[in-house]
Amino acid sequence: MTDILKINESTVPKFPKHVRFRFNKPRKEWVILAPERLVKMDPIAVEILQLVDGEKTVKNIASELSKKFNAPLETILADVIEMLQDLSDKGFIEENG
């Protein structure tokens, strides 16, 4: 059994080797591809996942989005943590390092 990752502001998220975040050109939408699974992403999730590079912390990601959308950092941070935690629980995100 693997340990459950608890996402927090200092977590450095990345996609596991078996997971790809790609733009599906024929359907004109972003998706997460994993073995035998395909997950469609809403526009907010896409904004977050485009910043997941295995180097930025969750707080760095939230800070960039806060500036881009002129929204409170605390609100964005909570939303980013919640979404990444959900994806981590499903095996689509892991911690780098």
Tell how strand 37-40 and strand 29-34 pair up. Answer: antiparallel
Q: What is the pLDDT of residue 4?
A: 77
* Domain 13-95 homologous superfamily, CATH: Coenzyme PQQ synthesis protein D (PqqD) (1.10.10.1150)
Give the span between the Cα atoms of 79 and 82, in whole angstroms: 5
Let me know how long the chain is: 97
Handedness of CA 70, 40, 8, 95 (dihedral sign): negative
Q: Which residue from 29, 33, 27, 55 is spatially nearest to 43, judged by alpha carbons?
A: 29
- Domain extents in the chain: 13-95
pLDDT tier for residue 1 given thresholds of 50, 70 and 90: very low
Q: Does this model's pTM top 0.85?
A: yes
Q: Render pLDDT for 40-51 as a digit per residue (tens, 0 to 9).
A: 999 999 999 999
Q: Render pLDDT for 61-95 as a digit per residue (tens, 0 to 9).
A: 999 999 999 999 999 999 999 999 999 999 999 99
Interior/surface letters 56-92, b for 16+ CB within 10 angstroms, e for the rest = bebbebbbbbbeeeeeeeeebbebbbebbbebbeeeb
